[in-house]
Amino acid sequence: MKSYVFTRRQFMKMTMGATAALGISQLRWPKMLMADVTKNPGVVWLEGQDCAGCTESVLSCLTPDLRDIILDVVTIRYHETIMAGTGEVAEYALVKAIQEGGYVLVLEGSIPAADPRYLMVSGESVESTFIAAARNAAAIIAVGACATYGGIPKPTISNGQGAEYFLNKYGISKPLINLPGCPVNPIWFYDTVVAYLTGGVPALDANRRPLAHFGQLIHDNCPRRPHYDKAEFLSDWNNPVQKDWCLFLKGCKGSETYSDCPSLKWNEGVNWCIGNGAPCAGCTEPKFYENFSPLFIANTIPR
């Protein structure tokens, strides 16, 4: 009997063909293999005031695999966390990419608005680097709560602001897509990349978020919604009777937050914040974090 050895990429392409033949809905990754990769502008990924959580979230996705994205779909021109080059070699790659232009610019983390000297990289402020990169970009994607609306650094002394704030400050008009979240869901990012590669900027809401993922309130799709309708609100974390009750009294922001977390979930669809018993922090909204504090309300401990 003759045996055959297939690479992972060959296997995925065979799977794509089989699903098409059987009429089965295609998965996101086969869809990416079908993308018009001739429209590959390259990616320049900058990091501002961040914890690199959005990078970690994107890297941890199993389907699609980041290695396949880099090999088959896009060209990462600069990303200080994952690139092999360091120091002057890395900075040269960034300068060259900006000079050539036409890339998709990704911003992770906020940029200090109080004083650009709060964040300097290689002798240059991140603000000046972002503006230089934005002027020559084909489109801009802001990933995470900090890069979109300021997030956690916004109420600090640095007054961290998102991409749109600085684009408006310098009068730069480029297509901007906001993918908030703390961190961003990797599927939000990959689906947006697919949408841009195959058809340009997807339909966005008033906050420049893709309607495909941010078109509905969490509250409207929350599995605890029936308890809300019956005014059953969790007040004691330690009461087993209340275990699945609505978390509104514990600071849940689901009634003000738009995203598909209840259906898409996290970690390959394993779980999400409310499913794990934690109230929604509203991390996809412009009000996060400053105007959504406190994020949750603990039990009152008797004295």
Segments making up each domain of the chain, as ranges? 36-212, 218-292
pTM of the model: 0.85
- What number of other Cβ atoms are within 10 A of residue 118's Cβ? 19
Bond from prior residue into 165 cis (ω within 30 degrees of 0) = no
Token pair belonging to 47: 């990091």
Give yes or no: 182 in active site.
yes
- Please tell me the total number of residues recorded for the chain in this structure: 303
Give yes or no: 61 in active site.
no
Token pair belonging to 131: 């503006």
Among 51, 61, 79, 227, which one carries the catalytic annotation?
51
Token pair belonging to 204: 């966005």
Write the pLDDT tens digit of every residue in 152-174: 999 999 999 999 999 999 999 99
Among 61, 79, 227, 246, which one carries the catalytic annotation?
246
Higher pLDDT, 300 or 238: 238
Among 61, 79, 146, 227, which one carries the catalytic annotation?
146
Among 61, 213, 222, 227, which one carries the catalytic annotation?
222
Q: 218-292 adopts what CATH topology?
A: Cytochrome-c3 Hydrogenase; Chain A, domain 2 (4.10.480)
Average pLDDT, integer, range 10-21: 42
Task: State the Cα–Cα distance between residues 149 and 45, nearest whole angstrom.
Answer: 18
Coil/strand/helix, residue 22:
helix
Q: What is the pLDDT of residue 8?
A: 46
29 pLDDT band, cuts 50/70/90, is very low
74 pLDDT band, cuts 50/70/90, is confident
Give yes or no: 246 in active site.
yes
Return the CATH class of domain 36-212.
Answer: alpha beta
Among 79, 182, 213, 227, which one carries the catalytic annotation?
182
Task: State the Cα–Cα distance between residues 155 and 290, nearest whole angstrom.
Answer: 6
pLDDT exceeds 90 at position 65: no
Nearest Cα to Cα of residue 284 among 207, 191, 193: 207
